Structure 1
Amino acid sequence: MSILIILAEVSLVIFVFLLLNWLVSKLFKLFTKTSILKSEDRSIKTLRRNITGLLLLACLVSCILIVGANGYLIYRGENLQQYTIAMLERIPPGFWITLGIGIAQSIGTFMLAAIALKFLKYWLKVASTSAKNLEKNTADDESIDAFFNALYHRISGGIWLWAVILCAQFLKLPATVSEYLYIALRIYLIIAVGLLILKAVAAVVDFLDALSVRYSNPDNLLRFYDRLRHLIPFLKRCLEFVIYVCMATLVIQQVQLIANIAAFGPRIIKIIGIIFISRVLFEVAYLLVEEVLFKDRNLSDIQISRRLTLVPLFRSFLQYFVYFAAIISILYTLDIDPTPILAGAGIVGIAVGLGAQTLINDIVCGFFILFENYYLVGDYIEAGKAEEKVVEGIVEAIELRTTRIRHPNGQLQIIRNGDIGPITNYSKQYIFAVVEVGVPYNSNLAHVYKVIEEVGQQLKTNDPDVLEGTQIDGVESLGESNLLLRTLTKVKPGKHLQIQRVLRKIFTDALLREGIVIPIRAESAEG
């Protein structure tokens, strides 16, 4: 009989261990299903194994203590059965009734939770099917299923945690256990609801984005949406940060030990809002500047070039102003008075300005370039001193310190305004496309002149970039086997290279049709 009593007590301890291990396993499964903790899956599994090991060790120690204590009682000559009955009789009868009712209520609670989850799974499956039928788009089926699966896991986790709390109350466990379980439930619900809101917000933003694209047209305000659409990923990131900060703030508030840190949550949200609003204000203001400058569709080429030159400057000034205002607002949000900082920055700025003469020189030269109209965006220029590397190409931007020039071969050349040097602008009013044509010595020059002028006049009629017909400047040089004629064609600024290529081809074709053989130059033959 003593052995049976010892086995019963050991079996009870093992049962309690198995029950606790099952509850811990359920809790860790809920954590691993939370997307925010999936990246820490290995750490969670390690923690789970450690807790299981501690429970197993406690179970073994308890079993050894039970066997040792009962063995000691037997050694003393105690009747183990009578001793056990006497101990049980000391426990009030109401305790066993309460325990039995608590166990029955706990079993019923778990059964009701399981039944509720079955119904929940069925109705969520019906809702998922209805949503897919409503969308009528098989491409979204996977995302819809993922959303409803996530919703099911979040609700099921909350139901099981609530069932555990009820069981703790039914079994009359210490109030501290219920209190900590309530804290765990609130934290779980905060994280679960936050992640669902995150998914819902992303879906709403994508839906509104699709609607805006669909209904945008040149007659309403949505015509600007396509130029502001690149802000959508930035909006999503800001909303994600706001939701994560709200979740973290609410979670911290549940833990009394660190609840004071939660006061920083609203400030962080304000800072995120300031950053987002400043970015949007900058983009909208820049868009309005472009809209005002280019609203008139009847602008001349020179007016367009001048306004294209001003746009980057407006953008730079606007960017500095908006970001400066954002920094000041962030400092006020953090309860930091920016006045001493600005005063210190002013003193430092003066000291730096005295030493940064090159920077000041670049900025001043940039203003002179703009005000004296040396060149504009879109002009084809050559810049630089003869003894140094000459930069040439199309001006892409004139900024406070530098000028960006795109070479005809595609390289982007950036030169400081203070080092721009002498400037040759090929885009002022007009330019000559100069083409040299070689003809044999025995050619009838009058006939050659006539052919070239007729071809040049025809090109003027067909090409709007040609301002005047081709003129023969005369014989440029006398070669060993040919005469070199120099031709001038007046074209629009910046079009000389293109027209030169066209003229070489049509001159060659026209002279060959007239039976005039174009000699091969000596340098060409050597190449």
Structure 2
Amino acid sequence: MQVFRLAESAELNNAWIVAVIAAAALVAIWVVLALASFLIRHTAQFLRIGMLQSFSDSYARKTRLVAVVASFAIAIAGAGVLGYALWQHKDLQPTVDNVLSQITEDAVIAAARNTGVVCLFLVAFYVLKMVTRRLIARVHGQVGRRAVGDRQQMFLEKFFLHLPSVVNLGVAYALLRLAAEAFRLPAPLQWLFFTALYVLLLLAGGRALVMLAHFLSERLIASWEHKVTGSKLEEYYAALRRLLPVVQRSVEAIVYVSVATLLVHRFETLEPFSPYGPLLIRVISMFLAASVLVEIVRVLVARLLLAGPSAAEDTQRRRVTFVGLIQNFLKYIIYFCVAMMVLKDLGVDPTPILAGAGILGLTVGLGAQKIVQDVLAGLLLLFEDQILHGDYIKIGDTEGVVEQVSLRITRVRDGLGRLHFLRNGEVQNVINYSRGWTLAVVDMSVAYEDDLATVLRVIGEIAAGLPAKMPNEVIAPPQVKGLETIGATSLTVRIETKVAPGCFHEVKRTLNRMLVDGFTAHHLEIPYPKSVKIEFEPRPAPASDGAGERGTTDPQLSQDRRPRGTMPIPG
């Protein structure tokens, strides 16, 4: 293969040859680097990974720098070759013809065919890309018109954000499969291209599938909400609603484990790890099923054992306490059974473990006597009906409302909002204010200066109005017991009121306010510490005849020297 002469003179022909070769080299370098940057940038956009996108930006800047440096190098090399040819008076035409003679027609035809296949591949890819983009946009518009919640809209937008990447990678993988024979690439290079597209396709598809699963789960739960409202299935719906985050995370884990399993199958060196993928999916599925079963059992136990609204308050609180214990016990049994099933799937025989657990439990029981003592004390507290959920109790220095009674500890919330954890083995001398009735005791101070009969009459009138003001809390009319103490500064009158369980603090506060308002209205004094300031003048000294000689005493100065003092007077 020879190239026709571009000029008659050797110098001008050499210039044309160097210029054509330099231009071809520049075009080849710029095309290769631009194509590589284009592929990396679009791959980063498909996967939407921040690290990969930043890498693509830095790679694009570096490729431009490399292309500029290579262009200068080619230009300098071309100028050097041309100068050398001019200096040696050498014609470059025979050298170029000798090089081109090594290229056969079959090679030219193969290069042209490959170029045509690449062009056809790119045209088909962009045509299919535009078609699928319009189709996805139409589907997105149709789905977006429906009324969906905020979370559903968020997952739907993320799904349609990843879907074009999945479609584009799928189209590219399919076209590359069809054009593989035409390219006639070496087997290692062909495996590299297919594996890269396969990995990218699985990653993008996994992310899109996770978003679609989240959207469908939210949509399904939202559609059930209107159907079960007011029906017997409402409690089951509430339980499943609480489980929705667990279900979504489990589905996400299953999808990613499946993607990882497919990727492991692609590499022969990782093939020994492939059996662990289905096993891990089975374990995640079993624990998800156990979580769903626990919630269903929780609802069933509550519906079967909880008392109805017409039952007494003590019965309801007793049922609530025992229902919580039964629910926790069944939850532990379910998770224990699932753990045994997981061990069996892992190839571990659970029988020796159970036997060893029995021996270990005996050993731990002997060493952890306090825990056993707490559990036994908790059972006695429950079966002897000492403490129930919602009781107002006092144990030592701890006073508050019982929030939970378990087999080992009791949780009590005090008036300041602090949560106390009491070991059941340490619970002794329980004072329970929530059984039957309690007394609200108010001690009212009375001044010595007021008439005692009038004070007792006013207190009786004020106390008599308490049941009308608090009919649900006051069980019996308040009783004025009379003088309780005779103090140094005041008298104390005690009023006792029988009230409903857990209401004595509220009744005491209300009665105190009524007494203060009543004493103020009847002009009765409420004793409080007082102090009286007393000023006195000492007797003046007798006048002296020689006072004139020594000077006259200033009366204002004498007035300033008068002693002053204070003396506390009891109220």
TM-score category of the 2 structures, normalised to the smaller one: 0.7 to 0.9
1:476 to 475, 481, 484: 484
More displaced 10-residue stretch of structure 1: 148-157 or 494-503: 148-157
| Aligned-pair CA distance for 1:480 | 4.0
Corresponding position of 2:415: 408
Closer, same or farther in 2 for the Cα pair 1:135/1:422, shift >3 Å? closer
Q: Give the residue type in structure 1 aligned to 2:513.
A: K
Residue 434 of structure 2 is aligned to residue 419 of structure 1: no
Corresponding position of 1:349: 361
Contact 1:165 1:181 in 2 (8 A): no
Residue 136 of structure 2 is aligned to residue 128 of structure 1: no
The 2-side partners of 1:58 and 1:267 are apart by 53
2:264 to 252, 261, 283: 252
| Aligned-pair CA distance for 1:269 | 0.9
| Aligned-pair CA distance for 1:197 | 1.3
Q: Give the residue type in structure 1 aligned to 2:271.
A: A
| Aligned-pair CA distance for 1:22 | 3.8
Closer, same or farther in 2 for the Cα pair 1:368/1:128, shift >3 Å? closer
Contact 2:37 2:63 in 1 (8 A): no
The 2-side partners of 1:327 and 1:62 are apart by 69
Corresponding position of 1:504: 512
The 1-side partners of 2:104 and 2:67 are apart by 29
Corresponding position of 1:270: 282
Secondary structure (helix, strand or coil) at the match of 2:229 reads coil
Q: Give the residue type in structure 2 aligned to 1:357.
A: Q
More displaced 10-residue stretch of structure 1: 43-52 or 238-247: 43-52
The 1-side partners of 2:151 and 2:424 are apart by 54
Contact 1:380 1:394 in 2 (8 A): yes
Q: Give the residue type in structure 1 aligned to 2:475.
A: L
| Aligned-pair CA distance for 1:158 | 3.5
| Aligned-pair CA distance for 1:277 | 1.6
1:437 to 412, 434, 444: 444
1:242 to 248, 254, 271: 254
Cα distance per residue 1:196-239 (max 9 Å; x no partner): 21121111122123223333312241344234422212211111
More displaced 10-residue stretch of structure 1: 173-182 or 332-341: 173-182
Contact 1:482 1:519 in 2 (8 A): no
Structure 2 residues without counterparts, runs of 5 or longer: 1-12, 82-89, 531-568
The 2-side partners of 1:311 and 1:324 are apart by 20
The 1-side partners of 2:266 and 2:217 are apart by 31
Cα distance per residue 1:288-336 (max 9 Å; x no partner): 2222232522111111221222233223323322222222122122222
Closer, same or farther in 2 for the Cα pair 1:367/1:144, shift >3 Å? closer
Q: State, as a whole percentage, how many aligned pairs show the same letter.
A: 27
The 2-side partners of 1:198 and 1:344 are apart by 42
Corresponding position of 1:322: 334
Contact 2:239 2:296 in 1 (8 A): no
Residue 475 of structure 2 is aligned to residue 463 of structure 1: no
Alignment of 1:70-469 (within 5 A): 85=97, 93-135=105-147, 147-163=159-175, 169-384=181-396, 390-441=397-448, 448-449=455-456, 451-461=458-468, 462-469=470-477
The 2-side partners of 1:56 and 1:182 are apart by 32
The 2-side partners of 1:207 and 1:328 are apart by 35
Closer, same or farther in 2 for the Cα pair 1:102/1:222, shift >3 Å? same
TM norm structure 2: 0.77
Corresponding position of 1:486: 494
Closer, same or farther in 2 for the Cα pair 1:176/1:364, shift >3 Å? same
Secondary structure (helix, strand or coil) at the match of 1:298 reads coil
Secondary structure (helix, strand or coil) at the match of 2:189 reads helix
Cα distance per residue 1:417-472 (max 9 Å; x no partner): 11122222222222111112233457665665555445444433451221111122
Corresponding position of 2:3: none
Contact 2:317 2:389 in 1 (8 A): yes
| Aligned-pair CA distance for 1:242 | 0.9
Closer, same or farther in 2 for the Cα pair 1:142/1:272, shift >3 Å? closer
Secondary structure (helix, strand or coil) at the match of 1:33 reads helix
| Aligned-pair CA distance for 1:267 | 0.9
Structure 1 residues without counterparts, runs of 5 or longer: 70-77, 385-389
Q: Give the residue type in structure 1 aligned to 2:405.
A: I
Q: Give the residue type in structure 2 aligned to 1:405.
A: V
Q: Give the residue type in structure 2 aligned to 1:201.
A: A
Alignment of 1:19-58 (within 5 A): 19-35=31-47, 37-39=49-51, 41-42=53-54
The 2-side partners of 1:63 and 1:295 are apart by 94
Aligned-residue RMSD, C-alpha: 4.1
Corresponding position of 2:565: none
Contact 2:318 2:388 in 1 (8 A): yes
| Aligned-pair CA distance for 1:110 | 1.7
Higher helix share: 1
Corresponding position of 1:387: none
Contact 1:162 1:185 in 2 (8 A): no
Contact 2:136 2:164 in 1 (8 A): yes
The 2-side partners of 1:511 and 1:443 are apart by 11
Closer, same or farther in 2 for the Cα pair 1:365/1:141, shift >3 Å? closer
Contact 1:397 1:404 in 2 (8 A): yes
Secondary structure (helix, strand or coil) at the match of 1:378 reads coil
Closer, same or farther in 2 for the Cα pair 1:90/1:204, shift >3 Å? same
The 2-side partners of 1:469 and 1:498 are apart by 16
Contact 2:374 2:407 in 1 (8 A): yes
Cα distance per residue 1:357-408 (max 9 Å; x no partner): 1111111111111122222222222213xxxxx2112222111211111112
Secondary structure (helix, strand or coil) at the match of 1:173 reads coil
